[in-house]
Amino acid sequence: MKKILQIVFVLVFISVSTVLNAQVKLVQQSLPLISDVSLLTNTFGYGVSGSYVLRTFDGGVSWDTVANVNGVTFRRILSIDQSNLYAGGEKGRFARSTDAGASWTVTFLPDTTHSVYSIKFTSLSQGNVLTSSTTAAMVVKTTDAGTTWATTLNHTTGDLEDMDFFDANRGVAVGGGVGKMDFYYTVDGNTWTLAPRPTIPSGVTYTRIDVRAVQFVNTNLVYAVGWGSTVGMQPSILCKSTNGGASWTYLEQLPENRVYDNLWGVYFKDENNGVAIGGASRGTILLRTSNGGVTWGPVRIPCGASLDIIYGNGDYLFVGGGDNMFMKSTNFGDSWELITNIPGSSLYTIHFPDKNTGYAAGYDGVLIKTTDRGLTWKGSYVSTGFTCTNVWGIYFLDANTGYSASTYGMVAKTTDGGVTWTKSIPDTISTSTVYYGVYFINSNLGFAVGKLANNQDMIAKTTDAGITWSKKVNLAAGSWRGVHFFDDQKGIVVGEKLKAVYTRDGGTTWTLSTFTTLPPGYTTPNLRDITFIDENTAFAAGDSLVVKTTDGGATWNYINIPELKVGLTGISYKKYANGNNGTLFSAGMKTGSTRIAGFYHSEDMGNTWVNNVAGIDLATTIGDVSSTEEQTAYVCASSSTIYSNIPIVSVEDEAGISSSYYLGQNYPNPFNPATTIKYHLAKSGTVELKVFDLLGREVHSLIMGEKPVGTHEVRFDGSQFASGVYLYRLSAGEFVQTKKLMLIK
């Protein structure tokens, strides 16, 4: 009886205190922005991020901080071997390490104005560095490991974007711009010659012809790739030289094989087999050739980021770039694995179809999913064939079946919990065609809303689970942003310029709404989201306002929320499972020089509102909010961040862990200034318990030494640390486990 009473108490505590907690950051992007990577093997290598030098032992899944080189913003890194490293950054900074990155000597290149674009060394002492801007570039050479430099190429009429050397003498540097395609080559490592521009086929027109990446395959064979654009259908540039860069051939592709996007990297494993990477106006681009570049074909890679990092070792490919993520292929691109758990993206939309399962999506088609109420998340992409665009709206009927609304007018569908996606409404080539919101009433009936073109709104309806759609266009000469239905008859759509329409016949007809009691200056604010409370009552949120209807959307009244200064981008409401009235949640952000967060809730049906932003990092930008029947709210934001008011509790059953290793969740969490961590050892031995920041840097050692078998507790005092999320890791023999804790001051 005692245990039953304890359980009831915990459940009651959670239900009444949910909206009162400080917001907890449940997840954020796994990695910082890594601008360059230099792998020595498939598993070991180095990277740079800002002033930090990083190292990986597991092929880029995780990265340790090796050094923080103050005063340098790194852009490129080259590892000659495990000990000898070179790195370059902005304003001509050049750094060298001979002790595996532990210490660095920083010097200045002759060009102290521009940034380092490429570093190529053919031995420990001899190498070349390319610095560039949009208007000028320079190649400098060293024969004494960077102690002194000599300028070998001074290009004053544009940029150069990449460089490669086959040996100490043979090199190529490439670049270009508007009306320029520059190929320089050297055969002695000291003097450079500008090669003739290859002939562009008739009928192919370019607004610019930059060359972005180059690779030597052997003494004579060189490949280069570059500019492409969907604007004007400009094919991606592919070029080849068979004489060390002295002359070049433009590799024209058949129309069915052409892609129209920037290519940023190239890798050939032999003379005939190569890949080029880039993107991503409509998704990641990966081209592959097996006949020496005569023909190239697009290869599907389930990703939406623009890729500019590539490492190859035979059939093994490692790529990265946008979204702070990396992918790998062990079969030369036939299949791909996302090795970064949470790619970094601005999340625009979030939806929890039940209390355990949630999805959030956004820029570049990034999708993150939880199945345990937000405690753990896994990343992927809303990728359909060769298309992976920004996702603005997402809705799931249950844990497995869901729809996304995207740029280029695409609606996609999944029936396996986001593992695979198919096009329900195919994408267009128009950047002005966008679906912003999607909502399904049942397995067959659903709506998607957005714009067909600027000032030309559209509502799409399906009655057969997305197989076919009918559209109503230009009801309000604007752009629809949010849609919600109370049942299969009553629905409301809201959008920009203070426009809304409502239906009472399942979307057969729509009627424009009327807005009243708006204060001065609120003539055309944008409405971003909508939620029903009951069949007649609904709330809509937008640019620094909330409005309410009590007649199913026919008329709307302004709700006065004191000190509301943020643009609200999401609003959500769910009743309790027992039918009792729930809590209204709305969230948004004021950006600019003074950033203000908003995470509002109302427990009296919108009469009074409380803004509870404790725990929200103002550096992140809020996108949307979704709530569950337990009145748990989840807010998505930039950097793939999810905040929630979910209580973080820790109740350990020691009887269940007495024969195993265990690391408990710290309690309390969040905490200020101290918290307790409990752990259990199955046998005595050496134990380490350390605290790290999110970059992987150790900030505190709690335990290091021998401990006996049994359950132990240790207190962590965070008085000397800044607010934020930290990691704590227990290592005991072969047992290693890491968990998160949150300090809020």
Average pLDDT, the chain: 91
Reduced to 3 DSSP states, what percent helix, strand and coil does the chain have, rounded to the nearest 5?
A: 5, 45, 50
* Least confident segment among 2-16, 17-31, 212-226, 488-502: 2-16
Q: Report the pLDDT value the prediction gives residue 662, as an integer from 0 to 100.
A: 80
Q: Do residues 332 and 355 both lie within one domain?
A: no
CATH number (domain holding residue 674): 2.60.40.1930
Question: What is the mean pLDDT of the segment spanning 590-602?
Answer: 93
Question: Considering the domain boundaries, does residue 146 fall inside one?
Answer: no
In three-state secondary structure terms, 623 is: strand
pLDDT at 655 > cutoff 70: no
Question: What is the mean pLDDT of the segment spanning 659-679?
Answer: 84
Q: Are the CB atoms for 98 and 106 separated by under 8 Å?
A: no
Q: Do residues 571 and 685 both lie within one domain?
A: no
Distance in angstroms (rounded) separating the CA atoms of residues 545 and 540: 8
Q: Are the CB atoms for 116 and 75 separated by under 8 Å?
A: yes
Query: Phi and psi dihedrals of 14, rounded to 5?
Result: -65, -45
Write the pLDDT tens digit of every residue in 538-583. Answer: 999 999 999 999 999 999 999 999 889 999 999 999 999 899 999 9
pLDDT at 12 > cutoff 50: no
**Count of other CB atoms within 10 angstroms of residue 735:** 16
Q: Report the pLDDT value the prediction gives residue 216, as an integer from 0 to 100.
A: 98
Question: Considering the domain boundaries, does residue 127 fall inside one?
Answer: no
| Rounded alpha-carbon distances, angstroms, from residue 517 to 290, 524, 559, 699 | 67, 14, 9, 54
Name the pLDDT band for 475 (thresholds 50, 70, 90).
Answer: very high
Task: Output 246 or 22, whichever has higher pLDDT.
Answer: 246
Q: Are the CB atoms for 393 and 404 separated by under 8 Å?
A: yes
User: Residue 26: CB partners within 8 Å, gap ≥ 6?
Assistant: 370, 374, 375, 377, 634, 642, 643, 644, 646
pLDDT at 656 > cutoff 70: no
Q: Do residues 291 and 347 both lie within one domain?
A: no
Rounded to a whole number, what is the distance in angstroms from the first to the last CA of the chain?
Answer: 39
Q: Report the pLDDT value the prediction gives residue 114, as an integer from 0 to 100.
A: 94
| Rounded alpha-carbon distances, angstroms, from residue 510 to 473, 555, 680 | 11, 14, 62
Tokens of 680: 């259990």
Q: Do residues 193 and 317 both lie within one domain?
A: yes
Mapping DSSP onto H, E and C, the string for 673-705 reads: CEEEEEEEECCCEEEEEEEECCCCCEEEEEEEE
Q: Do residues 719 and 571 both lie within one domain?
A: no
* Least confident segment among 75-84, 245-254, 711-720: 711-720
Q: Do residues 271 and 349 both lie within one domain?
A: no
Range of the domain at 283: 157-338
Please, is 727 exposed, middle or buried when counting C-beta atoms within 10 Å of its C-beta (0-12, 13-18, 19+)? middle
Q: Do residues 299 and 374 both lie within one domain?
A: no
Bridge partners of 643?
A: 25, 635
Q: Is the peptide bond before 674 cis (omega within 30 degrees of 0)?
A: no
Q: Do residues 664 and 683 both lie within one domain?
A: yes
pLDDT at 339 > cutoff 90: yes
pLDDT at 1 > cutoff 70: no
CATH number (domain holding residue 249): 2.130.10.10
Q: Do residues 275 and 314 both lie within one domain?
A: yes
Distance in angstroms (rounded) separating the CA atoms of residues 338 and 78: 24
Distance in angstroms (rounded) separating the CA atoms of residues 153 and 72: 24
Write the pLDDT tens digit of every residue in 44-91. Answer: 999 999 999 999 999 998 888 899 999 999 999 999 999 999 999 999
Task: Write down how long the chain is.
Answer: 745
In three-state secondary structure terms, 129 is: strand
Task: Output 222 or 729, whichever has higher pLDDT.
Answer: 222
Write the pLDDT tens digit of every residue in 419-457. Answer: 999 999 999 989 999 999 999 999 999 999 999 999 999
Question: Considering the domain boundaries, does residue 40 fall inside one?
Answer: no
Q: Do residues 667 and 632 both lie within one domain?
A: no
Question: Considering the domain boundaries, does residue 454 fall inside one?
Answer: no
Q: Are the CB atoms for 119 and 77 separated by under 8 Å?
A: yes
Question: Considering the domain boundaries, does residue 470 fall inside one?
Answer: no
In this prediction the pTM is 0.84
Question: Considering the domain boundaries, does residue 143 fall inside one?
Answer: no
Q: Of all helices (H) and strands (E), which one includes residue 5? A: helix 2-17
Q: Domain tally for the chain?
A: 3
Q: Are the CB atoms for 515 and 547 separated by under 8 Å?
A: yes
Question: What is the mean pLDDT of the segment spanning 587-610?
Answer: 94
Q: Are the CB atoms for 530 and 571 separated by under 8 Å?
A: yes
Q: Do residues 353 and 311 both lie within one domain?
A: no
Q: Do residues 325 and 419 both lie within one domain?
A: no
Question: Considering the domain boundaries, does residue 607 fall inside one?
Answer: yes
Domain boundary among 615, 644, 673: 644
Query: In percent, how much of the chain has pLDDT > 70?
Result: 95
Name the pLDDT band for 366 (thresholds 50, 70, 90).
Answer: very high
Write the pLDDT tens digit of every residue in 87-122. Answer: 999 999 999 999 999 999 999 999 999 999 999 999
Question: Considering the domain boundaries, does residue 503 fall inside one?
Answer: yes
Q: Which of 216, 221, 201 is nearest to 267 (CA)?
A: 216
